[in-house]
Homo-oligomer: A and B are copies of this chain.
Amino acid sequence: MTETTDSLVETMKLLADKTRLTILALLKEKEMCVCDIVDILHTTQPNISQHLKKLKNGGLVLETRRSQWIYYSLNMDDKPYLQGILKELPSMKDELNKLNPNCCK
């Protein structure tokens, strides 16, 4: 049940960035496509794309393609301690309401 210190450090590095932590907070609400996330976080698409890649490689998110959109979802399966961390973050519900209705349509 105990992880190696090295792999835990790698996971903590993923969480030690505001953009990535906010992405995880968003995905806690619901799965989202890249354009949704770019919309909310006010940064560039390549920036989000690179952060998502890191989160995916670290096993924190899963991706599914549905036609031209790629949806990302939170994966806490093998990291139960994530729940306690993400619980600390403020709710992102307000941001979800502001989503561009033309995104992923």
Contacts and interface: CB of A to CB of B under 8 A. Distances in A.
A47 to B, nearest CB: 16
Main secondary structure of the interface of A (DSSP, over half): helix
Q: How large is the interface on A (under 10, 10 to 19, 20 to 34, 35 or more residues)?
A: 20 to 34
Protomer copies: 2
A15 interface: yes
A46 interface: no
Interface in A1-27: 1-6, 8-9, 12-13, 15-18, 21-22, 25
Closest 4 CB pairs of A and B: A81-B84, A12-B16, A12-B15, A16-B16
Interface of A: 1-6, 8-9, 12-13, 15-18, 21-22, 25, 80-81, 83-85, 87-91
